[in-house]
Chain A
Amino acid sequence: GDSVTQMEGPVTLSEEAFLTINCTYTATGYPSLFWYVQYPGEGLQLLLKATKADDKGSNKGFEATYRKETTSFHLEKGSVQVSDSAVYFCALSSTNNNDMRFGAGTRLTVKP
């Protein structure tokens, strides 16, 4: 079945460092791809999404490009801040569109 594999954490960076969190997927058809962020003690929030190949989703300085040829949707940010410390989840909506598959999550800690 459809699945998502994302980079193991935790990831610790200094403020203003470049961030990449890798995400690859396995799916039949053409799923939509998502990144969600979970701040401490809160629910998941949609960060960005892309619904077709070569689309780039972006929000709050984060970007991810839907790469069908490599089945990837890596999350990037050029300069992280302490406030970006959170758990990040990659997800896809299955082609039957009745389910969303999540990766295991990657915890990011940004130090001043």
Chain B
Amino acid sequence: EAQVTQNPRYLITVTGKKLTVTCSQNMNHEYMSWYRQDPGLGLRQIYYSMNVEVTDKGDVPEGYKVSRKEKRNFPLILESPSPNQTSLYFCASSLKGNLNYGYTFGSGTRLTVV
């Protein structure tokens, strides 16, 4: 089944403790992206990747890192999480950087930082 898989689905952590949210897609998509969803704000892009070893900042990149060493994986790293990063996170992929194909989304990761 073609899908984007995120892990974990739920995570509660403490301020300052480094964490990684994994994202993997099995569709050979070139483009991958991370979003955060907050009430009343819709989805805001954190980082995106046009292809392997090519990443760039989205609208809200502060406090996050990403890497794209392989085509299928695009992990999101929070080096020192803070409470304002409590949010619902989605990974998404698209066949090409031309987003006319639309996105396939993962099921989401609900992160709480206390």
Of the four ranges (under 10, 10 to 19, 20 to 34, 35 or more), the interface on chain B belongs to 20 to 34
**Interface size of A by Cβ–Cβ distance < 8 Å?**
22
Question: Scoring A residues 71 to 92 as 1 if CB is less than 8 Å from chain B, else 0, what string do you get?
Answer: 0000000000000000001000
Contact with B along A89-109 (1 / 0, CB 8 A): 100011001111011110000
B61 contacts chain A at the CB level, 8 A cutoff: no
* A51 is an interface residue with CB less than 8 A from chain B: yes
Number of A-B residue pairs at CB separation under 8 A: 56
Question: Is A32 interfacial (CB-CB < 8 Å)?
Answer: yes
**Bound-state Cα–Cα, A44 to B50, Å:** 21
Interface of B with A (CB < 8 Å)? Answer: 4, 33, 40-43, 45, 48, 50, 56, 58, 90, 92, 97-100, 102-108
Taking a contact as CB atoms under 8 Å apart, the answer to whether A97 and B42 are in contact is no
Contact A43 B105 (CB under 8 A): yes
Asked whether A27 is an interface residue with its Cβ less than 8 Å from the other chain, the reply is no
Q: Are A42 and B108 in contact (CB under 8 A)?
A: yes
